[in-house]
Structure 1
């Protein structure tokens, strides 16, 4: 447990120095110049939607008004039964289009393709239900841009998000080195949201969402910056990621037989581009806050989410196990894969075993009480240090929480999460490992409270 926290802390330090060396941040004047440019690559924003009638209109309107000079929005209605398609048709005056697909990835049956009578860059693909990966492949087939952005229907993007994540692609010039990029995903709970836009940032008032806000800071401001610095990034969040379309199609699109399609695709891109002598490429994490997502506020939903994430991790590592400690795959095979195996896949089980063995030893008299307490508090202390370091790094860099009360609430969450929630997540992730070994590929229902009720709360800490 202590070793795991120590490794995380080392990654946080590496991420800090990588962040200090980051000079890619676009100034406001540069973003304005890009927004007015006529030569930036076109982007297709792919939005898989299943039963999103309550939020789909605000989401699409927000995506259509992103500050990017040349993008289209491709919504894939994945067999919704709640009126999602009907709401889109009515709101945007859609008609059946003769638009021909540009790709031939296998997908469920396409029922119809719609475009708007109004001069807006919106395409809606209606298809039989086949799951998220199948919907994304349908979106790839119907996109007409060299770059595709994958966005969850319930994600909220910053207005300049496409400009930020396109920076690595624009830096390539005439050589297509960058295969994919992603940015910081933040927890939207506690923010005030109007018409699919964050209009005021606030820390979550929900205890559980506050814990997750700290967890997201750890993941994005520590580990992913460090991995990107080493060109060994294995995960680009499924909430928002940008990919070179030809690379994804060449790799075979999104696989249907996995619950972790985001990680699996990124690992597959690494594997394909590194084997055979390797091609010069980059998969980049941009340390800019570009997307917001709703965090679960019930233990039941959080359990299902983390179970699915952990099973997706196990599936990806097993599917691409030949990369493990294989010099042919460079730093990905020699560092990133062993790290994910030891600390992300097996780490929770080792931590849980440590708790259990310490408890058994204490009960049997093999472990003195003072040593058991020392073990526990040192382990928790490293966890608190890691969480507080993440919050400090956020305040020193991106600093999105403007009110001291918000920072104080997150500070308290960073401490309290180590006394109960961390241990509970350890149990859930351990169970997920065994579920994956049993071959469980269920998705699980991810009920959402919805953004409309979200608003800043400057009151009590969680």
Structure 2
């Protein structure tokens, strides 16, 4: 516990200084200059879609309104069994075109390439089902620009998010090869035709806890790791990559955690080539995405995430404690293995021992209560630090009512939400041992009112 408190406490301090520094800079630097700059790099936006009928229209509408000088949208229909493709044809007047698709990465067969007669920069790939990684690789093959952004089919992007997430890439002279933005929970927000009208909170405690969890993961976790080029995760919901480096690394792998696995592989590649490249996180640009609203689907998501975490760590176990890979091998990989992966198992064992000790009478009650109070206070402080950091810098939740709800819900985490997520992550470890594969079904209701 001392180790975890030290690591997380250090991340909070790093995040606080870094976010505030960047925030003050962003207030001075006008992003509008990038709209006219000749150095602004064109980008291909890849949206893999498998049975995304409920949310795909809102996602595309939000992308059509972004502020960026030159971009193309490539929607990859990955063998959907619902009416995703039919909805795209109807809403955007698609026609079949003869477009050269460079086979840089192996993928399932592409059955057709279509272009919108309303929006010429909107391209739709129709391909056989091969999974999210396969769909993204097909999009990379079809893309024509040097940078691409991977975006989930149920996401809404703020207007200037691309200018902000690409700013470090534009200014780094190709030193930055990947940049990730923040992801927020869209449930409870008012979104009309792909446009974020007002920010709100869901009435469901399980969704509000995910809001707190996302704030904590992005604002205190990823900022701290990014500061020292230790970031091993760029969210698949919103990340920009150099196409040349991704192709050289072999593209997305067919794994449950394809986003993390690619980032670890990129780190490994740049260390082995001994070049000075960076993978960073930019806290300001925001992508709003739909979160599970039921225990059933949240449990399924967390089990999958934990299997994906181990998959990435196992594929690249060579990096663990290997000085050849610098701080990635000596700090980042051990952190993700011992704290993020093994942490839930150790915590569950602690719960079990505590329960057994109460019934056997072999527990020092005063010490146990003191330890529990310490854990409760620290966990609550850590969660609220993320919420206050968000309000202090980004001001995404301007209403006092929202901050009050987030504060009081965060105080309950220790009693119900954390034990549940610990149990689900350990279940993910069990599924990993028995060899379970696949994503599992996720029901979308869509975050945008068309």
Q: TM-score, normalised by structure 2?
A: 0.96
Secondary structure, counterpart of 2:378 in structure 1: helix
Map of 2:329 onto structure 1: 333
Partners in 1 of 2:25 and 2:302 — Cα distance?
Answer: 32
Q: Does 1:274 align with 2:271?
A: yes
Residue 29 (structure 1) shift: 6.9
Q: How does 1:226-305 map to 2 (within 5 A)?
A: 226-256=224-254, 258-276=255-273, 278-305=274-301
Partners in 2 of 1:87 and 1:450 — Cα distance?
Answer: 14
Residue 329 (structure 1) shift: 0.8
Q: How does 1:103-122 map to 2 (within 5 A)?
A: 103-122=103-122
Residue 58 (structure 1) shift: 2.3
Map of 2:16 onto structure 1: 16
Map of 2:436 onto structure 1: 440
Map of 2:384 onto structure 1: 388
* Unpaired stretches in structure 2, ≥5 consecutive residues: none
Secondary structure, counterpart of 2:352 in structure 1: helix
Partners in 1 of 2:436 and 2:321 — Cα distance?
Answer: 27
Residue 125 (structure 1) shift: 0.5
Segment of structure 1 superposing worse, 337-346 or 23-32: 23-32
Map of 1:151 onto structure 2: 151
Map of 1:459 onto structure 2: none
Map of 2:63 onto structure 1: 63
Segment of structure 1 superposing worse, 361-370 or 74-83: 361-370
Work out whether residues 5 and 383 of structure 1, in 8 Å CA contact, stay in contact via their aligned partners in 2. no
Partners in 1 of 2:119 and 2:416 — Cα distance?
Answer: 53
**Per-residue deviation, residues 154-211 of structure 1 (Å, max 9, x unmatched):** 01111111101101111123xx211100111111111111011211011222111100
Secondary structure, counterpart of 2:415 in structure 1: coil
- 1:39–1:18: structure 2 CA closer, same or farther, 3 Å change rule? closer
CA root-mean-square deviation: 1.8
Map of 1:188 onto structure 2: 186
Work out whether residues 52 and 444 of structure 2, in 8 Å CA contact, stay in contact via their aligned partners in 1. no
Partners in 2 of 1:120 and 1:37 — Cα distance?
Answer: 23
- 1:453–1:99: structure 2 CA closer, same or farther, 3 Å change rule? closer
Partners in 2 of 1:236 and 1:10 — Cα distance?
Answer: 21
Work out whether residues 115 and 124 of structure 2, in 8 Å CA contact, stay in contact via their aligned partners in 1. yes
- 1:453–1:86: structure 2 CA closer, same or farther, 3 Å change rule? closer
| Aligned length in residues | 450
Partners in 2 of 1:178 and 1:230 — Cα distance?
Answer: 13
Q: How does 1:332-351 map to 2 (within 5 A)?
A: 332-351=328-347
Partners in 2 of 1:28 and 1:368 — Cα distance?
Answer: 56
Map of 1:457 onto structure 2: none
Secondary structure, counterpart of 2:440 in structure 1: coil
Q: TM-score, normalised by structure 1?
A: 0.94
**Per-residue deviation, residues 271-296 of structure 1 (Å, max 9, x unmatched):** 011014x2110101001142111111
Map of 1:426 onto structure 2: 422
Map of 1:367 onto structure 2: 363
**Per-residue deviation, residues 31-65 of structure 1 (Å, max 9, x unmatched):** 22222345411100000011122322222122122
* Unpaired stretches in structure 1, ≥5 consecutive residues: 455-462
Work out whether residues 186 and 289 of structure 1, in 8 Å CA contact, stay in contact via their aligned partners in 2. no
- 1:97–1:58: structure 2 CA closer, same or farther, 3 Å change rule? same
Segment of structure 1 superposing worse, 83-92 or 386-395: 83-92
Partners in 2 of 1:55 and 1:420 — Cα distance?
Answer: 31
Partners in 2 of 1:356 and 1:251 — Cα distance?
Answer: 43
**Per-residue deviation, residues 97-148 of structure 1 (Å, max 9, x unmatched):** 1100134211111100011233530111100111100000000000000000
Work out whether residues 6 and 382 of structure 1, in 8 Å CA contact, stay in contact via their aligned partners in 2. no
Residue 2 (structure 1) shift: 5.9
Segment of structure 1 superposing worse, 297-306 or 283-292: 283-292
Partners in 1 of 2:67 and 2:416 — Cα distance?
Answer: 42
Residue 414 (structure 1) shift: 1.3
Q: 2:175 aligns with which of 174, 177, 184?
A: 177
